[in-house]
Amino acid sequence: MNEKSSTPRERPSKKSGRNPRVPMPEQRPEVRIANFDEVPLGYTPEQARAEAARCLQCKKPSCLEGCPVNVDIPGFIALIVEGKFAEAARKIKEDNCLPAICGRVCPQETQCEAACVLAKKGEPGAVGRLERFAADYEREQGLIELPEKVPPTGKKVAVVGSGPAGLTVAGELILRGHEVTIFEAFHKPGGVLMYGIPEFRLPKRIVEEEVDYLRRLGVKIEFNQAIGTSLTVDELLDEEGFDAVFIGVGAGLPYFMGVPGENLGGVYSASEYLTRSNLMKAFDFPQYDTPIVRGRTVCVIGGGNVAMDSARTARRLGAEKVYIVYRRSRAELPARVEEVHHAEEEGIVFKLLCAPIEYLGDPRGMVRQIRCQAMELGEPDASGRRRPVPKPGAEFTLDTGLVIVAIGSGANPLLTRQTKQLELNRRGYIAADETGRTSRRGVWAGGDIVTGSATVILAMGAGKAAARNIHQYLCEKDGTVR
C-alpha cells in the first residue's frame, strides 16, 4: 500500500453493527492537503471481494430502485465475489457507461445505498466503492473490450455538450449504429467532470479515459465549438445533415449575490475558481500559464458540494485558514455528509448562520475583509427548511484574501437564445418531457439544462431516456424498426 495512506479506517458509525462495511483506505488529511491526488485510494481485490460478500443477493433487490439508471447491482456484485472483476465492470456498463466516475461521485447514500436492505440493520452494501473497484480494475488491467458493432443506420446525431448527459447519449446511440458527433465549447471533454469536480475527488485521467472509450466506439468530438455562435442548432439540422440534436449544455451561468464589493479582485465565482484550477491547471502555475489568486485566509460562501470542493481546493493551494460561510445551520448543509466530513478533516472551519453583506477592499481593489450578518433560524420556507433571518445588530467582519461565491448556477442563454422554436421554462431552462423531447421536432435536451443543477447520475439518466427516444424516432423516421 502507498506510504501516504492511512491504515484503513472508517468514520465511526452508530449503525455499523456486527457486519460493518470493509473500510476504504484514504490519504491521511495532513498529507493530502499538500497534494491534489485522490483522497480515497480504492479497494484491493481482497477488500472488494470481502465487501461484495456482504451483499445478500436479494431476490427483489431494493438497491436497484435507488439507482437512476438501474444498474444490475446484485449481478455485478456476484461477479466480484467470484473474482470476475472485468466481467463485473462489463455488467455495470450495460446500464452505465461511466462507472469509474459514478462509483466516485454519485451520492450513493441517498440513492442505491439508501435503498439497500442491509441499511435497515446496519451499514448498506458499499455499492459505489465496488462499482469504482470493478471499473478501475478493468481499465488498469487493460481488459476493456469494445462491444460488437451493429451495422450503421446511416443516421447522424449531434450532441451539444460533453458533460455526463451528452456522453451518455453518445454512448447509447453509437451502440445502436448511429453516427454521433459531440460539439463541445471547451478544449477538453467532460463538462463539470473536467472543469468543476476537483482532481482529488475525480482524477481527470479517468474522465479522459472514459471519453476515450467512447471515441474508440466511434464517437466523434469537435472541440472549441460553442453551439449558438459558430454553428446553431438550426444549422445542425438544416445544413449539416444531422437527423437529431441532443442538447446537454449544463447549467453554467454563475450566480452572484449582488452585495456591495462583490466585483473586487479576489472575489471569484466557484466556476471561475474551479475552472482556473481544474481545467486550466492554475495549481501548477507557472508551468501552466493561467494564474489564480491564492489567499492565506479564504472564505467560501455557500454550503453545497461546490462550496466544499472550492474550500478543499483552496486548502491545497496553500490557504492556512479556510472558512465556509453558510447562512443556515449544520443540519441544512446541502453538501454530502462525506464531503463535509472530508472538509472538516482537512481543517476547514464552518461559520454557520451568517451571510456576507459587504466586501471591503484595499486601495488596489483586492478583497481584504467580509462584513457578515449573523442569522438565526425562523419559520420553515417553501423547501421545508427553516428560513434564516438576520439577527438584529449582530454583525462582524472576517479578514480574507480570497472569496469564492458558491451559491449556485443557472441556465446559460448562449445557445437557447439562438435556437428557434425552443420552449424554455420560467427560469430559462429548456422545457422537455421525461423522454427529453423538447418543443422542437428533432431536438432533445437533458441534464442540468433541463432540471437545473442536479447530479451526474441524473444527467446520465436523462441522457439514457433521451437516447432511447431518439433511437425510436430515427427508426420510425424511415420506417425501419429494429
- Binding positions for other proteins, rule: CB under 8 A: 185-188, 221-226, 229-231, 252-254, 256, 258, 262-263, 265-266, 268-269, 271-272, 275-276, 280-281, 285-291, 293, 364-366, 412-414
The three three-digit cell numbers of residue 19, written as one number: 457486519
Residues 291-330 binding ligand FAD (CB under 6 A) are: 305-306, 309
Strand ranges in 381-442 using DSSP code E only, listed in sequence order: 386-399, 402-405, 409-410
Closer to ligand SF4 by Cβ: residue 132 or 368: 132
What are the grid coordinates assigned to 80, written together?
A: 466480484
E strands present in 201-320: 220-222, 244-247, 253-254, 267-269, 297-301
Q: Cell numbers at residue 280, please?
A: 486550466
Pick from 23, 42, 163, 401: which binds ligand FAD (CB under 6 A)?
163
Report the Cα–Cα distance between both ends of the chain, in Å, rounded.
50
**Which residue blocks in 33-146 are alpha helix, DSSP H?**
45-52, 63-66, 73-81, 85-93, 99-105, 118-121, 127-140
Q: What is the C-alpha to C-alpha distance for residues 219 and 213, in angstroms, rounded to an integer? A: 9
Of the candidates 95, 98, 99, the one whose C-alpha atom is nearest the C-alpha of residue 134 is 99
User: Residue 436 and residue 173: Cα distance in Å, rounded?
Assistant: 14
Residue 171 parent element (H or E): helix 164-175
- How far apart are alpha carbons 397 and 374 in whole angstroms? 10
**Cα(289)–Cα(374) distance, integer angstroms:** 40
Which is nearer to other proteins, 16 or 225 (by Cβ)? 225
Sequence-ordered list of residues with C-beta below 8 angstroms from that of 306, at least 6 positions apart, any chain: 196, 270, 274, 406, 408
- The smaller minimum CB distance to other proteins, of residues 377 and 424, is found at 424
Q: How far is the CB of 202 from ligand SF4 (least distance, A)?
A: 13
217 near ligand SF4 (CB under 6 A): no
The least distance separating ligand FAD from the CB of residue 302, rounded to whole angstroms, comes to 11
- CA–CA dist 318, 298 (Å, integer): 10
Q: Which of 33, 63, 194, 245 binds ligand SF4 (CB under 6 A)?
A: 63
CB of 256 to other proteins, least distance (A): 7
Coil/strand/helix, residue 148: coil
Q: Measure CA 148 to chain center.
A: 30
DSSP 109: G
202: contact with ligand SF4 by CB under 6 A: no
Nearer to ligand FAD, 274 or 292 (CB): 274
Residue 269 CB, nearest approach to other proteins (Å): 4
Q: How far is the CB of 66 from ligand FAD (least distance, A)?
A: 14
Under rule CB under 6 A, residue 168 binds ligand SF4: no
Minimal distance in Å, beta carbon 88 to ligand SF4?
A: 12
Q: Which does 128 bind (CB under 5 to 8 A by kind): other proteins, ligand FAD, ligand SF4, none?
A: ligand SF4
Closer Cβ to ligand FAD, 124 or 196, answer by number: 196
By CB under 6 A, is residue 228 in contact with ligand FAD? yes
**Nearer residue to ligand SF4 within complex by CB, 126 or 267:** 126
- Select from 314, 279, 480 the least CA-distant residue to 404: 314
Residues 267, 361, 299, CA angle at the centre, nearest 5°?
40
How do strand 367-380 and strand 354-361 relate by DSSP bridges? Answer: antiparallel
- Least distance in Å: CB of 91 to ligand FAD? 21
Determine if 254 is a binding residue for ligand FAD (CB under 6 A).
Answer: no
Q: Is 57 left (phi over 0), alpha (psi -120 to 50) or beta?
A: left
- The residue with cell 448562449 is 414
Candidate residues 24, 48, 52, 73; the one interacting with ligand SF4 per rule CB under 6 A? 73
Partner in contact with 269, chosen from ligand SF4, other proteins, ligand FAD, none, beta carbon below 5 to 8 Å by kind:
other proteins
DSSP alpha helices (H): ranges in 239-396? 270-274, 305-316, 337-345
Residue 306's binding partner out of ligand FAD, ligand SF4, other proteins, none, with CB under 5 to 8 Å set by partner kind: ligand FAD
Any contact of residue 125 with ligand SF4 (CB under 6 A)? Answer: yes
103 makes contact with ligand FAD (CB under 6 A): no
Residue 193 binds ligand SF4 (CB under 6 A)? no
CB of 318 to other proteins, least distance (A): 13
CA 48 – CA 341 distance, rounded (Å): 23
Q: What minimum distance in Å lies between the beta carbon of 31 and other proteins?
A: 26
Q: Which does 127 bind (CB under 5 to 8 A by kind): ligand SF4, ligand FAD, other proteins, none?
A: ligand SF4
Q: Could you say whether residue 116 binds ligand SF4 (CB under 6 A)?
A: yes
Contact letters for ligand SF4, residues 438-467 (x by CB under 6 A) = -------------------x----------
Q: Which of 286, 288, 326 lies closest to 310, judged by CA?
A: 326
Question: The C-alpha cell of 127 is what?
Answer: 455499492
Is the separation of the CB atoms in 267 and 189 below 8 Å? Answer: no
Q: How far is it, in rounded angstroms, from Cα 9 to Cα 197?
A: 24
Minimum distance from residue 291 beta carbon to ligand FAD (Å): 8
Residues lying near ligand FAD in the complex (CB under 6 A) are found at: 105-107, 160-166, 183-186, 191-192, 196-197, 225-228, 248-250, 252, 274, 305-306, 309, 412, 414-415, 447-449, 453-457, 459
Binding region for ligand SF4 (CB under 6 A): 55-58, 61-63, 67, 69, 71, 73-74, 96, 102-103, 106, 108, 111-112, 116-118, 125, 127-128, 131, 457
